[in-house]
């Protein structure tokens, strides 16, 4: 029974009165989140101003709450652990290392682009921020992982990434001790790349490999997400019960399934009834913030959770981490939605 103390009477007097009548009494305590970083973009804080085609908007990282990331932070802090990443490699474009939300996060950098390749920092900055935007610094966004070493591996130019660049990048990441490797890139033009197949299989012995499934719904899951040793990540849009209209998925002839889904924004590719304000709040080059959509941004949510798991329990193998993460998904709405809290708890049992 819940009783409210009447006006003009103290809690102590009411408790004594009820106990005198033979009732057991205790306060109805209020428990607060242990881990609400002060970054404006975290839901519950002040929001980040973003100028869109619809005008200026206060935007929030709702993708964190949809995947139970704050609850995972709470759990780790209650266990005496920081929500930190095991060494994680981002195979992507270059990134804006001067961005206030990425200061001090990069411990190793390398580029495997050819001399004629044109570099860009837009994509790499956005994907890296999902996983690693420095939390609790009073600025911008909070990444899934608050702290921890990152390896930035430039393999993606404005025209794409080559087999040779990807293979060298994966090998470099492994050499630098990466325990999670994120690849927010892919192609429908090949279904098997023998040179890269071998590199991925070898890397999977020590690192959890995660890749974006792709951004067209009728072409099957892209490669390298379709590789059996890689976690294929699809995107949900506004609803956790429905794949985003652009998200890759199994086709009639290409039956590779999505291993997990995570928010990716809704408006990519002109999804009907979706507005840019349904997209993900991300870092942008030049120290700013922007709204974007795509499975590229779903993948680092999954990589970030894998990195939390391997930091919380360094004894987990790559295979064990993958298995626990995928067996902890939330299927309440039918899709295998990323559940950060369940995955981190499973990793520490």
How high is the pLDDT of residue 19?
82
What's the average model confidence in pLDDT over 150-171?
A: 97
How high is the pLDDT of residue 55?
82
Res. 29 pLDDT band, cuts 50 70 90: low
Mean of the per-residue pLDDT values for the chain?
93
What's the average model confidence in pLDDT over 190-213?
A: 97
- Paired strand residues for 288: 284
How high is the pLDDT of residue 35?
65
Q: Is the pLDDT of residue 145 over 80?
A: yes
Q: Is the pLDDT of residue 31 over 50?
A: no
Query: Quick check: 35 and 77 in contact, CB under 8 A?
Result: yes
Query: Quick check: 313 and 306 in contact, CB under 8 A?
Result: no
| Known active-site residue 92 | yes
DSSP secondary structure code for residue 316 in this structure: -
Percent of the chain with pLDDT over 90: 83
User: Could you tell me the domains of the chain?
Assistant: 1-30 (no CATH), 35-347 (3.40.50.200)
How high is the pLDDT of residue 51?
86
Question: Using CA of residue 147, residue 134, residue 71, residue 67, what is the dihedral sign?
Answer: negative
Give the model confidence (pLDDT) of 63-109 as tens digits. 999 999 999 999 999 999 999 999 999 999 999 999 999 999 999 99
How high is the pLDDT of residue 65?
98
Pick the catalytic residue: 92, 122, 240, 339? Answer: 92
| Known active-site residue 101 | no
Question: With left for phi above 0 and alpha for psi between -120 and 50, is residue 41 left, alpha or beta?
Answer: alpha
3-state class (DSSP) for residue 304: helix
| Cα(251)–Cα(232) distance, integer angstroms | 14
For residue 225, give Cα distances in angstroms to 95, 230, 290, 314. Answer: 22, 6, 26, 25
Pick the catalytic residue: 123, 184, 278, 339? Answer: 123
Give the model confidence (pLDDT) of 235-270 as tens digits. 999 999 999 999 999 999 999 999 999 999 998 887
| Known active-site residue 296 | yes
**Overall pTM surpassing 0.95 (yes/no):** no
How high is the pLDDT of residue 174?
98
At a CB cut-off of 8 Å and minimum separation 6, what does 282 contact?
A: 126, 129, 130, 141, 289, 290, 291, 292, 297
Pick the catalytic residue: 284, 296, 303, 328? Answer: 296
How high is the pLDDT of residue 269?
80
How high is the pLDDT of residue 102?
96
Res. 276 pLDDT band, cuts 50 70 90: confident
């Amino acid at each position: 029974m819940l009783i409210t103390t009447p006006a003009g009477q103290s809690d102590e007097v009411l408790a004594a009165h009820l106990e005198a009548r033979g009732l057991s009494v205790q306060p109805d305590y209020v428990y607060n989140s242990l881990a609400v970083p002060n970054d404006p973009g975290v839901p519950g804080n002040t929001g980040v101003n973003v100028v869109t085609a619809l005008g200026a908007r206060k935007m929030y990282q709702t993708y964190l709450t949809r995947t139970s990331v704050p609850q995972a932070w709470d759990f780790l802090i209650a266990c005496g652990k920081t929500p930190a990443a095991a060494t994680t490699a981002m195979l992507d474009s270059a990134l804006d290392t001067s961005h206030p939300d990425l200061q001090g996060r990069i411990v190793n950098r390398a580029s495997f682009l050819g001399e004629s390749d044109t570099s860009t920092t837009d994509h790499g900055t956005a994907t890296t921020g999902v996983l690693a935007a420095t939390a609790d610094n009073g600025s911008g966004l909070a990444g899934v992982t608050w702290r921890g070493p990152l390896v930035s591996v430039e393999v993606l130019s404005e025209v794409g990434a080559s087999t040779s660049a990807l293979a060298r990048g994966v090998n470099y990441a492994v050499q630098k001790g990466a325990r999670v490797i994120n690849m927010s890139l892919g192609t429908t033009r090949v279904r098997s790349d023998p040179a890269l197949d071998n590199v991925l299989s070898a890397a999977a012995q020590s690192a959890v490999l995660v890749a974006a499934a792709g951004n067209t719904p009728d072409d099957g899951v892209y490669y390298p997400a379709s590789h059996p040793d890689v976690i294929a990540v699809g995107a949900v849009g506004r609803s956790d019960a429905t794949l985003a209209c652009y998200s890759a998925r199994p086709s009639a002839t290409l039956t590779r399934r999505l291993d997990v889904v995570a928010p990716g924004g809704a408006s990519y590719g002109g999804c009907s009834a979706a507005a840019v304000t349904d997209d993900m709040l991300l870092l942008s080059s030049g120290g700013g913030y922007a709204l974007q959509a795509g499975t590229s941004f779903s993948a680092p949510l999954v990589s970030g959770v894998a990195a939390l798991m391997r930091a919380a329990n360094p004894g987990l193998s790559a295979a064990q981490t993958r298995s626990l993460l995928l067996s902890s998904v939330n299927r309440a709405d039918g899709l295998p939605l990323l559940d950060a809290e369940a995955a981190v708890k499973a990793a520490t049992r």
